[in-house]
Amino acid sequence: MVGTADRNTEVAGVEGGVGLTALMVAAARAIETHRRDSLARDVYAEHFVLAAPAAAGWPVRIQQVPDGDANPLWGRFARYFGLRTRVLDDFLLRSVHAGARQVVLLGAGLDSRAFRLDWPAGCVIFEMDREGVLAFKHDVLDGLSAVPKAARVCVPIDLRADWVAALTDAGFDAAAPSVWLAEGLLFYLPSIAETSLIDTVDRLSARGSALAFEAKLERNLLDYRDSPIYTSTRNQIGIDLLDLFSREPRPDSAGELAGKGWSTSVHTPFDFTRWHGRGPLPESNDALAGNRWVFADKPRP
């Protein structure tokens, strides 16, 4: 049984800052799940939203949004998160079917991939995030009697700390191929922390490993402060993303990986909108214009 103090600690993990953005993405995934033309289904997402006092009143279906898809946050931005979920789901499944059996989710947030994707036999899913976020996630999933479809190992750690030791202690084998995912993470890290993380992933990745991450190219994020996505997120749910994002110039992590021998490809989200036939398309004053999804493979011997 979870005591009152423990439950308060768990909920606190998603009540503010970056933890609150995890709830926003969960709400977006819930909305996507209930769409008739859904690109990704996460039946657990709405339960995270409903369990958190900070998300009281947030929609989990587009029908609960008065202006529906015209709403910049719960329409266009939520569609972005739905598309991102599908694209990264596909990447992870391709990678494990190609031979990787270790999946490392860096900044796993409230995603439930260990529970909702059909993993091949022998896969291990390492979920790395701050203790409060993982505790809240565990509490909700445990209450639903959710059963993972692969071995699931939670690694409670702040990625600014010595996460390599924590991951190794949890059973990660650097000699075996792995697939890494940094979804919605690097925006929040100082440039030096991003560079360190990418270098560390390279060092820990055996041949045959793969990595996907999300990056931003803007020279000045404040140029988009009045974009509909940022203003609606501030006004509707009180999250000022630009106060959370690092405003330092971003490193060329895709270029760094290519220089280390990885095969890399860089795409805009709009590439996948056109591929799947739904999702956001470019618009004026577009906060998504600088977003890039990077995919990298470390060639086999």
CATH number for 215: 3.40.50.150
What pLDDT is attached to residue 190? 92
The Cα 14–Cα 72 span in angstroms is: 23
The span from the CA of 253 to the CA of 197, in Å, is 10
37-46, 151-160, 214-223, 237-246: the lowest-pLDDT one: 214-223
φ and ψ at 229, to 5 degrees?
-65, -50
At residue 249, the 3 state secondary structure works out as coil
Rounded to an integer, what distance in angstroms lies between the CA atom of residue 46 and that of residue 50? 6
User: Which pair of tokens denotes residue 161?
Assistant: 């700390």
Give me the domain span that covers residue 265. 4-297
- Is the pLDDT assigned to residue 48 strictly greater than 90? yes
pLDDT band (50, 70, 90) for residue 301: confident
The whole model's pTM is what?
Answer: 0.94
Q: How far apart are CA 178 and CA 200, in angstroms?
A: 13
Whether 156 shows a pLDDT value over 80: the answer reads yes
Over the range 41-77, which residues count as b (16 or more CB within 10 Å of their CB) and which as e? bbebbbbbbebbebbeebbbebeebeeeeebbbbbbb
- 12: pLDDT confidence band, cut at 50, 70 and 90? low
Find the DSSP H helices in 108-159.
113-116, 131-143
For the stretch 129-149, pLDDT in tens is 999 999 999 999 999 999 999
Rounded to 5 degrees, φ, ψ at 254 are -65, -40
Phi, psi of 142, deg, nearest 5: -65, -35
Q: Helix (H, G, I), strand (E, B), or coil: what is residue 93?
A: helix
| Domain total in the chain | 1
Q: Going by C-beta distance under 8 Å and a sequence separation of 6 or more, which residues neighbour residue 258?
A: 264, 296
Give percent of the chain above pLDDT 70: 96
Phi, psi at 147, each rounded to 5°: -120, 120
- The string of pLDDT tens digits covering residues 69-91 is 999 999 999 999 999 999 999 99
Using DSSP, state whether 295 is helix, strand or coil: strand
3-state secondary structure of 217: coil
272 sits in which H/E element: helix 269-276
> Would you call 182 helix, strand, or coil by DSSP?
strand
pLDDT: is 136 or 12 the higher one? 136
Q: What is the pLDDT of residue 41?
A: 97
- pLDDT tens digits for range 166-223: 999 999 999 999 999 999 999 999 999 999 999 999 999 999 999 999 999 877 888 9
Mean pLDDT of the chain: 94
